[in-house]
Structure 1
Amino acid sequence: MSGLFPRERREIAPGAVHLPEWLDLDAQRELVAACREWARPPAGIREVRVPGGGTMTARQFGLGWHWFPYGYARTAVDGDGAPVKPMPERLVELGRRAVADAYGAARDGDSPGGDPRGRAPQDWDPQDRDPYDIALINYYGADARMGMHQDRDEKSGAPVVSLSLGDTCVFRFGNSETRTKPYTDVELHSGDLFVFGGAARFAFHGVPRVHAGTAPPGLGLSGRLNITLRVSGLDS
C-alpha cells in the first residue's frame, strides 16, 4: 500500500488502464537486477540522438528489436552496431499477463477493454494475439524528461504495456490528435502497470517530471526505469 489509502485501478481513457502496485517488491528487485545485466554492452544502454541533433535526456536500450528515431532494427544502428539482445521469455509472459489483467480475461466472449486491432470487444481474446517481441527500457535520472509523443513505429496495434520501477514520475496521457490538452497527469509509482490500447493506442504521452528519491527503500535503484513492451508486427 502506498500512503494512507490504497490506490485503485483506474481507466484514464477508453483503452488506457492504470493498475497500481501490480508488481510486488520482490518482482521489482528481480527486474532491476535483470535490467542491469541487459543494459551492459554489447548493444547496451545509450543516449539517443534525435533528428536535428538533440539528445533525449532518458537513456535507452532495447531487447528483441532496437529502436532508433524513427524505426526498428536488429542491430544497435545508432549505438555500437552490435546485434540486439533477444527478447526474454519472462517479458513476453509479463506482457501477456499485463494485458489480461488490464482488460480482463475474456469471459463468455466479452472483454471490457475492446480489441486494439479494431475487432468488436466480444471477439477479443487475450490468448489470440501475437507475442510481445519488443522491450524498450528507459532510464530516467532526476532531471530526465520525455516529451509528448506517439508510439507509431510498430506495425501492430496491440496495446503498449508500461512497467515502472524506482522513482515516482508524472505520466502525462493525452489524446490522439494533438500534443496539447486535453490530457491527464497520473503518478506512476514503482511497481505500477499502465496499459494503453484500443482507442487510446496512439494517444500522445510523455513524462514531464520525475520525483527524485521516491524509490522504495530496499529496491536498490536511484532514478526510474520504465520497461515498455510492444508487439512489433515486423517480419524477422
Structure 2
Amino acid sequence: MKNAGKGKASSTIWHNIKQSIIWQELDTNTNATKDQVELFGEGVFTNPKPEDLIKRAIELSTDENDIVLDFFMGSATTQAVAMKMGRRFIGLEQMDYIHSVSIPRLQKVIDGEQTGISSDVNWQGGSSFVYCELAKSNQTFVDEITVATDIATLEDIYKRMLATGFISSKVNPKDIDASTSEFAELSLENQKHLLMELLDKNLLYVNYCDIDDEEFNISDDDKAFTRSFYGEV
C-alpha cells in the first residue's frame, strides 16, 4: 500500500486566507503520516491531511448531523473526521485502494481508534457506514478488455460489444462492419486500444433513470436502496 496516493502539503492550501488565525496551531502533515503508520503500519499516502485541519473546516461549514460530501475520498480522512464529529458523509473514490485503505480506516474508526482528533472529541467508537459500487454498463467491457490475454477472447468481447454495448456516437456502425476483417489482423494490444476507443465512456455505469431497464438486471433490493439514497420511496 506504500505511496497509495500523493497529496499536497496542507500549509500551502490556506496560505492566502486573510483570517489566518483560524488555521493557526493546527496539526502537521508529518503527524498525520504518523497516524497513518499507527493505523496501517506504514504511510500509505504522501502529505496526508491532519484530522484537525479537516475538523476546523467542518466546524466552520456544518452542524451536527449535516452531510459532508467528498468527491475524492483518498485515505478517508474527511469521512473519519465527519464520523467522529457526528456528521453524516458521502465519499466517492475510483481507485482500488478504497478496499485496502479507505474502508479499513473507517472500520478502525468504528472500532474506536485513537489517532487524530479522537481524544479532542472523546471518540469512543461506534457509528456505521454503507459501501456501494456503481452498477456497471460499458465498464464491464473495459474490465474484460483490460485482463484479456488472447485475441480469441477479444474477438468474443468485440462481438458482444456490438450486440449489447453502447458504442461511441463518434463511430459510424457501417465503418465497424467494414473493418471487421482488419480488426482480426491487429496485434493484441492494438485490438485492446481499438475496443476501448469504440466504447462510449459516458455510459460506463448504469444511469439512475435506467435502473428499471431489464437489460441491466438490477435487483429489486438494489433498486430500493438506490431510490432511498435519492429520497424516493
Is the TM-score greater than 0.5? no
State the TM-score, normalized to the length of structure 1. 0.22
State the TM-score, normalized to the length of structure 2. 0.22
More helix by share: 2
Q: Which has the larger radius of gyration?
A: 2
Structure with greater contact order relative to length (CA < 8 Å, sep ≥ 6): 1
